[in-house]
Chain A
Amino acid sequence: MGKRESTPMAHFVRLDSEGTRPLASVAVRAPVEASLEPSVELNRFLAGIERRAFRVAEMALRDREDALDVVQVAMLRLAEHYARRPSEEWKPLFFRILYNAIHDSQRRRNVRSKLFGWWPGRRADDDSESEAEDPLARFADPGPDPAGRVMAGEAMERLEVALAALPARQQEAFVLRCLEGLDVAETAAAMRCTEGSVKTHYFRALKTLRERLGEVW
């Protein structure tokens, strides 16, 4: 008598309006493939990475609106061109796209700066709303431990300043390896360079940051 194959259970989760917190979970007997539909998988992947990607972009661009724009562009490009690729490839692909978008934004900003820099009474980056903002104002309500939150905000500000002083490739290697936790091979794929280059960039970045931040951290 042939052994009957059991059909695995698939769980469908209804999310809240932000798409992050589950409101209800329904388990149905269905092939696993049904739950691995690209759009569902992609939504889950992007939900897990969007805020970190935003902070990465904001650190690189030092502008909230520009950061939101490049994250949106990166999400759309990943969805349009790579949604059918295996999901384990998405993270390095996403960060490669994100950094390409960041570089495009920086180039546009440089062009604007050259074109309008001489204009009297106007600075090239005047269109950024956050220019006069207090750098700590973007952090949410400090909550029950305001002093701790403020200190964390100051530490982040120092890290951003120190990171911004690094060469671009060292910044990328540090962000991807240290902050995003990509392994060497994934970082190399995201940066389109060899694994040896990743190790070199990352080590130099870490050493410089240690020298600049070690005393104050």
Chain B
Amino acid sequence: MNEELDRLEDTARRAREVFDASVDALDDDTRARLSRARFAAVAATERRARPSPWVRWVPAVAVASTAVVAVLLWRAPDPPTATTAATAEADASLEAVEVLAAGEDLDLVENDLEFYEWLDATHFSDTGTTG
């Protein structure tokens, strides 16, 4: 049994010797091509380790974007809301009540053509004059 194990060990040792000799005997062209492949691999490592040139602009772009958004939000007019529309409608009703409550002679107003003409001229014309 020991003899068989010794034979196996001899085979392994001989295989190592033969293999090492074949590695040592590699031709120059193969060695040079392997070296070039290695340089390319190492260069790839260095490229990955080095941050992209665009990375340095990321903080500046972020600050600028934030500033632009802040200015836009600050300058933008408030959009009309349901609350302001309801307030305008309530104001109009109050004006009507105020006119009715004033107790003025409405017949005079209704029959006065000049009034309508004035109203037309001041409130519905393009000139917008108040007369």
Interfacial residues, chain A to chain B (CB-CB below 8 A): 17-20, 38-39, 42-43, 46-47, 50-52, 54-55, 64, 68, 71-72, 75-76, 78-80, 83, 138-140, 149, 152-153, 155-156, 159, 174, 178-179, 206-207, 209-210, 213-214, 217
Partner of B15 from A18, A38, A50, A178 at Cβ < 8 Å: A178
Q: Does chain A have a CB within 8 A of B118?
A: no
B42-90 residues with Cβ-Cβ distance < 8 A to A are: 42, 44-46, 48-49
Additional A-B contact list (16), CB under 8 Å, known A76-B37, A206-B11, A213-B14: A19-B39, A39-B42, A43-B42, A47-B38, A51-B34, A55-B19, A68-B30, A71-B34, A72-B41, A152-B22, A155-B18, A178-B15, A178-B16, A206-B12, A210-B11, A214-B7
| A78 touching B34, Cβ below 8 Å | no
Residue numbers in A under 8 Å from B39 (CB-CB) = 19
Distance, CA A79 to CA B48, complexed state (A): 9
Q: Does chain A have a CB within 8 A of B97?
A: no
Residue numbers in B under 8 Å from A153 (CB-CB) = 22, 25
| B15 touching A76, Cβ below 8 Å | no
8 nearest CB pairs, A to B: A75-B41, A72-B37, A79-B41, A79-B45, A152-B21, A50-B34, A210-B11, A139-B25
Residue numbers in B under 8 Å from A50 (CB-CB) = 34-35, 37-38
Give the interface size class of chain B. 20 to 34
| B45 touching A54, Cβ below 8 Å | no
Chain A to chain B contacts (Cβ below 8 Å), 10 pairs: A20-B31, A39-B46, A51-B30, A54-B30, A68-B33, A71-B37, A76-B40, A76-B44, A149-B25, A178-B16
Distance, CA A39 to CA B38, complexed state (A): 11
| A51 touching B44, Cβ below 8 Å | no
Residue numbers in A under 8 Å from B96 (CB-CB) = none
Residue numbers in B under 8 Å from A214 (CB-CB) = 7, 11
Partner of B22 from A47, A78, A139 at Cβ < 8 Å: A139
Residue numbers in B under 8 Å from A80 (CB-CB) = 44-45, 48
Nearest CB in chain A: distance from B98 CB, A = 81
Nearest CB in chain A: distance from B8 CB, A = 5
Nearest CB in chain B: distance from A199 CB, A = 13
Residue numbers in B under 8 Å from A140 (CB-CB) = 25-28
| A156 touching B22, Cβ below 8 Å | yes
| B37 touching A75, Cβ below 8 Å | yes
Residue numbers in B under 8 Å from A39 (CB-CB) = 42, 45-46, 49
By beta carbon, the residue of chain B nearest A217 is B14
Q: Does chain A have a CB within 8 A of B32?
A: yes
